[in-house]
Structure 1
Amino acid sequence: MKRLSSLLLLLILVVACNEKEEKKEVVPIKKPDPIIMEFGFKLNDYDVVRDTIDRGDTFGSILAQQNLGENKEHEITEKVRDSFNLRNIRVGKAYTMLRSKDSAKVLKAFIYKADISHYYVVDLNDSIRAYKKQLPITIKRRTIATEIDGSLSATLSNAGVQPSLAQNLADIYAYSVDFFKIQKGDRFAVTFNEKYISDTIYAGVESLEASFFIHKGKKIYAFPFKQDPNARRFDYYDEEGKVLKNMFLKAPLKFGYRISSKFSKNRFHPVQKRFKAHKGTDYAAATGTPIVTTASGVVERTGYTAGNGNYVKVKHSATYSTQYLHMSKILVRNGQRVTQGETIGKVGSTGLATGPHVCYRFWKNGVQVDPLAQKLPNSIPMLAKFKPRFMQEMTPLKKELDSIAAIKFKD
């Protein structure tokens, strides 16, 4: 009987213990907050305030709102003045304040975003110091091959590339491709490097390594190369080492505008309502569009006539001169030396003009000729002694372009 009672008591204790274990509350383990690092600080340790510079804000006025006291504000301003130009604070720029997490909310650091990649830090943690930092920059390399469908910018956008690359290609091929005449079915491939800030923020095209453009059935390669390795700028050469840069640009405007009237010996004048020679090429564009000189030279004449409106004439050599008519504004003076691609005026409709455009006139040996029909001289060719180095650098780049293009353009 005693044995039976003991067994019964033991059973009751076991059941009771199991019930307690079942009723025991399971406390979840709290995961620590992820560590957030920015501007070289662990943000978890601070009360973070983000804002932008408003009209009337100054570094001093922002400090005054932090309950530091006038003496402390003055001390900070004086100590950082040499490292942080306080007058450069601009409306709309972002800034961040790091304050203590206690109820006092004491300012520990002030960070001002000067631009997309640079920022200033005023660090008050241990002592007062200011310094400028740059966000980490990553370069990503890509090669694309595609066909023109619409404008060059639209084609690049459809290929997942920032349209800003269009300007780079237009500058490279300004001497060999008429971008007013590119059409659906033209093809190009390009190897280029893009710049990213903090690995995520796109910051534009860093450089182009190689490209080709197929226009009117002609395939034109472009490879950047320095004959002098210490030179600051590249010239662009084709696969045979021939320089792409001509003495003259193809047009006095950037790409994206249209030719509204060509050079003609007998054209019906839209204002005078009669047939007469049109010894220029008209490029239609919005009023105010920059007009550039197609070659380096000296401004021979500027002025105004009833027919030409505001105009500029540039002498490039004993052989060549160019003239730019109907400007809304002249930006150069007689006798001024200008370089190729320099803005010399703005598109307008002064003189005999039905709408905004620039009439581009071209002289060869004193005779007005059609610039689009001329075989114009190139720049200085590559010296023979540099050719082996160029071929060594160019060959793998060309092979890469051709391989990707072969996959894309299977026909």
Structure 2
Amino acid sequence: MRLKSTFLFALLLAIFISCGSKEEKQPEIPEKPKDSIFYGFNFNHFEVVRDTVRDGDSFGAIMAQHQVAYPEVHAATQKEYREIFDVRRLRQGQPYVILKSKDSIQKPQVFIYERDKINFSVIDFRQDLKVYSEQREIITHIREASGVINSSLSETILDQGMDYDVTHNLASIYAWTIDFFQLQEGDRFKVIYEERFIKDSTYAGMGPIKAAVFEHAGKTYYAFRHKTDEDQNYAEYFDEKGNNLRRAFLQAPVNFSRISSRYNLKRKIAFYGNKVRPHLGTDYAAAVGTPILATANGKVIESSFTSANGNYVKIRHNSTYTTQYLHMKK
């Protein structure tokens, strides 16, 4: 009897321990979705439609496609909003987002148009109409880069993985001191400039060049950015001695084309029997539509057409200097 009781007690103890070792299952609580904030809106609260402005699209056509009532569309096109967001100027290829209500109706409530990677405009149709433009939060990094020219400035900049706009910005900074049509193999440069990022990952373009140094034809040219005391929103570039890099005359009237014919007092042309026909100017070959800059401030004293000059403009800069711009398309 004692043996049987002992066995029964051991069995009950084993069952008790076994039951006690099992973990109780807790009811699963679904995780709350993380907020998905873009352009100041939580996209989790909307049905999101992303698209791109196509050839022939207009604001009215896009809204009609998504069943936005005409009175709402018309209200957003009024003059009072055009300085903020002129919906008549949607550009082909630019992305936009439409936020719709999360119900069976899916009524369009917000239209968001990306002007560029940083700037966007919003039309909020909910309750009272709201039209505004804002910027994404930008994080700025300072980048230092350099290169040695073997072919062209633009190719060197691209080879170094820099933003192509560095090319034009350098040309603009040194427009009064360096003739970029005369760059030589072995010329070198170093530049410090801002790079802008959205959420520290998406590249959003370059900011201003902070400083640069350019070695050309054995001479070194420095450039340091400085905001003027008169206007803190406007910056100029100065050399290491504090001299403004702007001069009376630009080195060239167009950006990054090629010289097709140089100034030459002894030019001979085979078509005219190799007679000397002086060329009293410099011809720049550039793509149609390339802006032509006056090499200095002045007054237009002539604008006309001749068979030799084509369309041309003549500018008087002072009592000594006058420049002419010939062979223009218009």
TM-score by length of 1: 0.65
Distance 1:157 1:218 in 2: 24
Which amino acid in 2 is paired with 1:2? K
Distance 2:77 2:263 in 1: 63
Pairwise mapping of residues 126-205 of structure 1 onto structure 2 (< 5 A)?
127-134=127-134, 135-205=136-206
Structure 1 residues without counterparts, runs of 5 or longer:
331-411
Alignment match, 1:364: none
Is the contact between residue 236 and residue 244 of structure 2 (CA under 8 Å) also seen in structure 1? yes
Alignment match, 2:45: 45
Is the contact between residue 77 and residue 87 of structure 2 (CA under 8 Å) also seen in structure 1? no
Alignment match, 1:312: 313
Distance 2:194 2:216 in 1: 24
Alignment match, 1:96: 97
Q: 1:9–1:306: structure 2 CA closer, same or farther, 3 Å change rule?
A: closer
Distance 1:299 1:52 in 2: 44
Which amino acid in 2 is paired with 1:205? M
User: In the alignment, does 2:247 pair up with 1:269?
Assistant: no
- C-alpha displacement of 1:119: 1.8
Which amino acid in 2 is paired with 1:320? Y
- C-alpha displacement of 1:318: 1.9
User: In the alignment, does 2:231 pair up with 1:230?
Assistant: yes
- C-alpha displacement of 1:281: 4.2
- C-alpha displacement of 1:316: 1.9
Alignment match, 1:367: none
Which amino acid in 2 is paired with 1:220? Y
Is the contact between residue 119 and residue 133 of structure 1 (CA under 8 Å) also seen in structure 2? yes
- C-alpha displacement of 1:161: 1.5
Q: Deviations over 1:321-359 (max 9, x none)?
A: 22333x1424xxxxxxxxxxxxxxxxxxxxxxxxxxxxx
Alignment match, 2:4: 2
Alignment match, 1:119: 121
- C-alpha displacement of 1:30: 5.4
Q: Secondary structure at the match of 2:266?
A: strand
Q: Deviations over 1:99-138 (max 9, x none)?
A: 3434x244363122151212213152xx333131412233
Q: 1:237–1:86: structure 2 CA closer, same or farther, 3 Å change rule?
A: closer
Which amino acid in 2 is paired with 1:132? Y
Q: Deviations over 1:347-372 (max 9, x none)?
A: xxxxxxxxxxxxxxxxxxxxxxxxxx
- C-alpha displacement of 1:241: 2.0
Q: 1:87–1:252: structure 2 CA closer, same or farther, 3 Å change rule?
A: closer
Q: Secondary structure at the match of 2:249?
A: coil
Distance 1:159 1:250 in 2: 26
Is the contact between residue 192 and residue 209 of structure 2 (CA under 8 Å) also seen in structure 1? yes
Pairwise mapping of residues 333-372 of structure 1 onto structure 2 (< 5 A)?
none
Structure 2 residues without counterparts, runs of 5 or longer:
none
Greater RCO (Cα-Cα under 8 Å, separation 6 or more) = 1
Q: 1:275–1:243: structure 2 CA closer, same or farther, 3 Å change rule?
A: farther
Aligned-residue CA RMSD in angstroms? 3.6
Q: Deviations over 1:374-401 (max 9, x none)?
A: xxxxxxxxxxxxxxxxxxxxxxxxxxxx
Which amino acid in 2 is paired with 1:46? F
Q: Secondary structure at the match of 2:176?
A: coil
Q: Deviations over 1:275-315 (max 9, x none)?
A: 31524343341452443322222333344444444443322
Distance 2:10 2:242 in 1: 102
Which amino acid in 2 is paired with 1:153? S
Is the contact between residue 95 and residue 110 of structure 1 (CA under 8 Å) also seen in structure 2? no
Is the contact between residue 188 and residue 212 of structure 1 (CA under 8 Å) also seen in structure 2? yes
Q: Secondary structure at the match of 2:292?
A: strand
Distance 1:75 1:38 in 2: 24
- C-alpha displacement of 1:179: 0.6
Alignment match, 1:13: 15
Which amino acid in 2 is paired with 1:110? V
Q: 1:221–1:287: structure 2 CA closer, same or farther, 3 Å change rule?
A: closer
Distance 1:108 1:304 in 2: 55
Pairwise mapping of residues 273-284 of structure 1 onto structure 2 (< 5 A)?
273-284=273-284
Which amino acid in 2 is paired with 1:113? Y
TM-score by length of 2: 0.78
Q: 1:277–1:244: structure 2 CA closer, same or farther, 3 Å change rule?
A: farther
Q: Secondary structure at the match of 2:182?
A: coil
Percent of aligned positions that are identical: 31
Residue correspondences, number: 319
Distance 1:61 1:176 in 2: 50
Is the contact between residue 164 and residue 205 of structure 1 (CA under 8 Å) also seen in structure 2? yes
Pairwise mapping of residues 323-334 of structure 1 onto structure 2 (< 5 A)?
323-325=324-326, 327-330=327-330
